[in-house]
Amino acid sequence: MIKPTERSFLRLHHIVALYIGSVLGCGILILPGLSAEIAGPGSLLSWIFVIILAFPMALTMGHLSARFPNDGGVSYFVSLAFNEKLGALIGWFFLVSGIIGVPILALTGAGYIAAAFGLSELIRILIAVSIILFGIMLNYIGIQVSSQVQIIVVLGTISILIGAFIGSYRSVNPVHFTPLIPNGWMSIGYAATLLFWSYIGWEAVTHIAEEFEDPGRDVVRGTIIASIIIGSLYLLTSYVVVGTGMYGPGMSDVSLVYLIEQSFGQFGMILTGITGLFVCLAPSISYIGAASRLGYSLAVNGYAPSLLARLSERYYTHIGGLVFLAGCFSIIFIIYGTGLLSLGFLIQLPNSTFILTYIGGCAAGMVLLKDNRIALFLSAISLILTSCILLFVSWAILFPISIIIIWGIFLMKKRKNDENLS
């Protein structure tokens, strides 16, 4: 464990930036248009519904982080609430999600840059690798430096999104809001299910809560502030997408591109590339930091290779975890580069493991926060919602099942080794 005197503690503004950077990912680039294609103007109701329901989930993670700050994050919460082995399994769910999810984020951001400047697929991959290396470097230097860069990235993202809204607002036409529900009420539910993914990311910050200056005071406050900012940005972007009619077949997944081009004219394509970079860089930094800390926690408790427990002698950062992640990211990029697996296929793999991570955290909240009625209620609501979402993951559920099987084999071997040693 890193000595308190060697830590660089984070304050409220750092926490808010880290939350926004973790949650406001590449979903802002595609979800407003895709949800509008499903439910038309009624997608705005879907957004309002999801924004409201995301509060319990976010606050559950916030309450747990405030009371039990630890590098292990959700894995640690589950260990406290139930048992260490189940907590370690939840930790591996998150770690594997990050191993696949971070390269996906980097490739998405690099894809926007490549499209903006007409670059080749090879250049796109090289840009994605650069994004990853930048995130690893920042986390190696330390969370204080990383959080400062995160603030700059988040402010840049917010500025561009607000600029796109202001520039597009003049083109909003009331006729595009009628009929409000062209595809029936069920379409609003389908859109809301899709939009749930826009709020994945709250769990990432739980892994660095131990480095907050005052978790009990700032975590819940930071969660509320970040939730309001994120919800407002999503809703404003969706409003202008619907109001300008910039969605439909072949257009929905790039609606933000059209908005930015309309707002900034000939500089639109350049700003589109910058937006894609900023939006995907911020969560990449957060998830690399969270995964390296989780790897450290798992290794210290004997549920991961000892390499992951190594700390930098200079910066006291989690260099073992960062090296491990760098190797895993390289494998993902090689697989993607060969064309064996598409980005669309890769995106589906971490969904179920992310949901199971949330389910574990919410279940832990019901045990650990039972002395707080509000927190207990928030945990229960979050557990019900995330469990319902799990029903929609389809074939991707095979991915966590395979992890559970491998985990079971690992535990049996570990038990035999322990017996032999005794």
CA gap 69, 421 in Å, rounded: 33
- Confidence (pLDDT) at 251: 67
Q: What is the CATH class of 4-415?
A: mainly alpha
Digit-coded pLDDT (tens) for 198-255: 777 777 777 777 778 788 788 888 888 988 999 999 899 899 999 988 888 766 666 7
Domain ranges of the chain: 4-415
Residue 122, classified by CB atoms within 10 Å of its CB into exposed (0-12), middle (13-18) or buried (19+), is exposed
Judged by DSSP in three states, 356 sits in helix
Tokens of 417: 């080794």
CA gap 422, 120 in Å, rounded: 58
Collect the ranges in the chain with pLDDT lower than 50: 1-7
At residue 212, what are phi and psi to the nearest 5 degrees?
Answer: -80, 145
Place of tokens 């990912």: 25
Type of residue numbered 60? T
C-beta separation of 143 from 157 below 8 A: no
Cα-to-chain-centroid distance, residue 218? 20
Cα within 13 Å of Cα(367), Cβ side: 14
C-beta separation of 28 from 201 below 8 A: no
CA gap 18, 5 in Å, rounded: 22
Digit-coded pLDDT (tens) for 387-396: 887 877 778 8
CA gap 63, 205 in Å, rounded: 12
Alpha helix positions (H), 196-342: 215-244, 255-264, 268-300, 319-338
CA gap 276, 111 in Å, rounded: 8
DSSP secondary structure letters along 352-364: HHHHHHHHHHHHH
- Confidence (pLDDT) at 190: 79
At residue 156, what are phi and psi to the nearest 5 degrees?
Answer: -65, -45
C-beta separation of 142 from 289 below 8 A: no
